[in-house]
Amino acid sequence: MPKLLLDENLPKKLKYRFGEGYEVTTVPEKGWQSLRNGELLQAMNQDGIEYLVTADKNLSYQQNYRKWKVRLIVLDTLDNQYETVLPFVDKIKNLFDQGVLPDYSLIER
């Protein structure tokens, strides 16, 4: 079962749209709001969370995420409102249905 972390730039209630077969938590649920990106990736690695779902398109340039066993799923969204990002859930699930995800996936609108 894939373990995903929703970054704090995404609506928390998005986690409930993944359904069975996914273990989804949020940065606030973990108490990781104050962590910088590198610290967040390290905490995810230590907690066994494989995927970070984020709207931060610059994260892959700011951090060497490959140093940790963390894969990035970046949403190319105009804003981070629930209604805007909701369609991305099905796109993410389709990626998992296709098999193994690469280290970095950009999900386009």
Phi, psi of 93 (to 5 degrees): -60, -35
Q: Are 68 and 45 in contact (CB under 8 A)?
A: yes
User: What is the structure's pLDDT at 38?
Assistant: 84
Q: How far is CA 55 from CA 1, 46, 81, 87, 109, in A?
A: 23, 22, 11, 14, 12
Residue 57 DSSP label = T
Q: Is the pTM of this model over 0.85?
A: yes
Domains of the chain: 3-107 (3.40.50)
Per-residue pLDDT, averaged over 7-20, amounts to: 96
Of residues 21, 43, 8, 33, the one with CA closest to residue 92: 21
How does pLDDT run across 48-101, given as a tens digit for each residue?
999 999 999 877 665 566 677 889 999 999 999 999 999 999 999 999 998 867
Asked if residue 25 has pLDDT above 70, the reply is yes
**Predicted pLDDT at 86:** 97
Read off the DSSP letter of residue 18.
Answer: S
